[in-house]
Structure 1
């Protein structure tokens, strides 16, 4: 099949509500505003690949309900195919209700179909002869499900990109099957067993991870507005700065980075050049509200300008 990237991961509906204050126990409170958006790290990353002109296969699970229909339409609109979308009749579609007040914020999460996506589902989806040699996985589905996909891509000699978020869902076997690791600074600290508030040597931590996980060929630590620390095995880590933007909402910036990196690799760019593209795309995503709505399209980027800007910043 003519896919260049496979994404196995989460898909859900975000239903945020904004309230003027926190309710009292037992009180009914009228919300100020609400919304309904498609999301999930897996869907975000797949959509970023598609928006830049790539052809991803997104493998994820939905329920047979109104939210599932909403997500199926989103997948079709974004990727022009829903071939990897699995409908599980016995499960609700996954959704989250972020509650935002002036003094508080919390999220009510219904795991639903995301945790019903099994290794068998993924084996069936990947049993066809795909041309894709890049796989992207995250931590929002069952680890056993991700591992099946990772082992499949390793057998093909492809690239396995692991975004270790949330960290509590990442196990040693997943790390042992990753080719590329893309933690943020907090996740990186957790991976090397330190508190995120600890003052640690980033380069030394990268050495620890390379020595511990032998399949790893590339580590890219995302640093928010400070860009990315890029480290290929056997080479000195290089800092890639992020362009200055008016950061509005960083929610999907990491997903944008991951999707853009994978897309750029499929275009024949080097891993380092692809990281430069990813940093730029991630910054653009952070400059807009929302997750999926913030993901840039190909028309929003200029590859020559990206490389020229990065060249100037390194001189």
Structure 2
């Protein structure tokens, strides 16, 4: 199978499970607490590796105890970590997450070493682009580095796929013409385009140069535009939603897995919906992602 190069963030998630979100000045006692592997880049790399996709991670961690946890989690999932280096001055990135009883989450991120994934880092790691077929990235490392990585991807004939989260204000629109597949959620789509509906948002992004836009719609599933029509694919029903943290990352990995199986976009979205449905039934992000053997692929028939 073709190799995927993942450029992105590596975090550790500190997750509190609460009955409701606290008000300013209020102290709440959580119902449960966990420490999990996180960061959109690491999450997506792990989700791909669990689907048996050859995956190499590019990123940075700190010289601290939690970096060992992060690197072990990636390795144990099957991710190649030879593209990860350790910062001499910043700690490993972290996220503080609250999850309510409906499984919805609120997240605050500290970038840490992720902020050191600069243009020099990308140049030093260009050799890895030559051995891959896809580049997957997000917006949790510096924008200039992402732009350079996308240029290297095109130089080495890689297909590109991007998760535009968290949304960044951009004066330079050169980035969009380098993106083959863009997968925002509905909120990110609105922030990027200020469009009044999903279809108009997709049209705006395509006018900027993005080749294909697939929009994640949460419990409604996902959609994309085909010949002027918005095609919607409903989410796969589950018994109970426990924690939606990382569901979007799992969706992206499922979509890319579908594309690697030579599926068309519609079929790849259905693969993504099915894959993501497993992740929301357990606590945590990466730890909740399914192995390929766990998925009931007959549901796609």
TM-score range, shorter chain: 0.7 to 0.9
Displacement of 1:70 in angstroms is 1.2
Structure 1 unpaired stretches of 5+: 195-199, 309-315
1:52 aligns with 2:51: yes
The verdict on how the C-alpha distance between 1:86 and 1:202 changes in structure 2, with shifts beyond 3 A counting, is same
The verdict on how the C-alpha distance between 1:16 and 1:203 changes in structure 2, with shifts beyond 3 A counting, is closer
The verdict on how the C-alpha distance between 1:247 and 1:35 changes in structure 2, with shifts beyond 3 A counting, is closer
For residues 33 and 288 of structure 1, the distance between their equivalents in structure 2, rounded to whole angstroms, comes to 13
Displacement of 1:169 in angstroms is 6.0
The verdict on how the C-alpha distance between 1:145 and 1:240 changes in structure 2, with shifts beyond 3 A counting, is same
Displacement of 1:202 in angstroms is 2.4
The verdict on how the C-alpha distance between 1:226 and 1:129 changes in structure 2, with shifts beyond 3 A counting, is closer
The verdict on how the C-alpha distance between 1:12 and 1:3 changes in structure 2, with shifts beyond 3 A counting, is farther
Question: Superposed, which structure 2 residues align to 1:1-315 within 5 Å?
Answer: 4-17=3-16, 33-98=32-97, 109-128=109-128, 130-168=130-168, 172-194=173-195, 200-211=196-207, 213-214=208-209, 216-231=210-225, 236-245=229-238, 246-306=240-300, 308=301
For the pair shown, the structure with the greater C-alpha radius of gyration is: 1
The verdict on how the C-alpha distance between 1:192 and 1:81 changes in structure 2, with shifts beyond 3 A counting, is closer
For residues 129 and 218 of structure 2, the distance between their equivalents in structure 1, rounded to whole angstroms, comes to 37
Displacement of 1:100 in angstroms is 6.9
| Residue pair 2:5, 2:129 contacting (<8 A) in 1 also | no
**SS of 1:230 mapped into structure 2:** strand
TM-score with structure 2 length normalisation?
A: 0.87
For residues 24 and 273 of structure 2, the distance between their equivalents in structure 1, rounded to whole angstroms, comes to 43
Deviations 1:103-140 (A, max 9, x none): xx865543210111112112222224633221111111
For residue 311 of structure 1, what is the aligned residue in structure 2? none
**SS of 2:130 mapped into structure 1:** coil
For residues 75 and 45 of structure 2, the distance between their equivalents in structure 1, rounded to whole angstroms, comes to 12
The verdict on how the C-alpha distance between 1:236 and 1:108 changes in structure 2, with shifts beyond 3 A counting, is closer
For residues 261 and 84 of structure 1, the distance between their equivalents in structure 2, rounded to whole angstroms, comes to 24
The verdict on how the C-alpha distance between 1:181 and 1:67 changes in structure 2, with shifts beyond 3 A counting, is same
For residues 258 and 114 of structure 1, the distance between their equivalents in structure 2, rounded to whole angstroms, comes to 21
Deviations 1:239-297 (A, max 9, x none): 11211113222211110111111122222222332121011111221222211121111
For residues 231 and 68 of structure 1, the distance between their equivalents in structure 2, rounded to whole angstroms, comes to 41
| Residue pair 2:115, 2:141 contacting (<8 A) in 1 also | yes
**SS of 2:136 mapped into structure 1:** strand
The verdict on how the C-alpha distance between 1:164 and 1:32 changes in structure 2, with shifts beyond 3 A counting, is same
Number of residues paired by the alignment? Answer: 295
TM-score with structure 1 length normalisation?
A: 0.83
Provide the aligned C-alpha RMSD in A. 2.9
For residues 281 and 100 of structure 2, the distance between their equivalents in structure 1, rounded to whole angstroms, comes to 22
For residues 169 and 70 of structure 2, the distance between their equivalents in structure 1, rounded to whole angstroms, comes to 24
For residues 150 and 91 of structure 1, the distance between their equivalents in structure 2, rounded to whole angstroms, comes to 25
The verdict on how the C-alpha distance between 1:33 and 1:202 changes in structure 2, with shifts beyond 3 A counting, is closer
The verdict on how the C-alpha distance between 1:69 and 1:276 changes in structure 2, with shifts beyond 3 A counting, is same
| Residue pair 1:4, 1:134 contacting (<8 A) in 2 also | yes
For residues 81 and 278 of structure 2, the distance between their equivalents in structure 1, rounded to whole angstroms, comes to 27
